[in-house]
Amino acid sequence: MIRGVRGAITVKEDNDGEIVSATERLLRQMIQENQISSNDVASIFISVTEDVSATFPAKAVRLIEGWTYVPVMCMTEIPVPSGLKKCIRVMMHVNTSRVQEEIIHTYLDGAEVLRPDLHTSKN
């Protein structure tokens, strides 16, 4: 069964270093908390708000050993005026036997407000 593992994080500045660093931290925590192997990942979608444009956050995936061949796509979020600013969201499609309620969704650095009902991360 393929399940979606969600995560989000915000950045203070729109620059290459902060975007990649924040995305890598988020991905690593999602991987650790859900015990995800790259071989079980079908794909990863990464979206950003319009104010995050200095680089592709997908570059962070390539910093994780063994994740070279995981398909990743970046896109821009719908610019809802009241939406959270400087936000990077991740949807990881994972082959797992876990039921929905067992998936740990990870929201960091202010992104917890997006889904407080799903924020089960141990951060």
> Active-site residue numbers?
6, 62, 74, 77, 89, 107, 115
Determine the distance from the C-alpha atom of residue 36 to the mean position of all C-alpha atoms in its chain, rounded to a whole number.
13
For residues 48 and 78, is the Cβ–Cβ distance under 8 A?
no
Q: CB neighbours (10 Å) of residue 78? A: 8
DSSP state for residue 58 in the 8-state scheme:
G
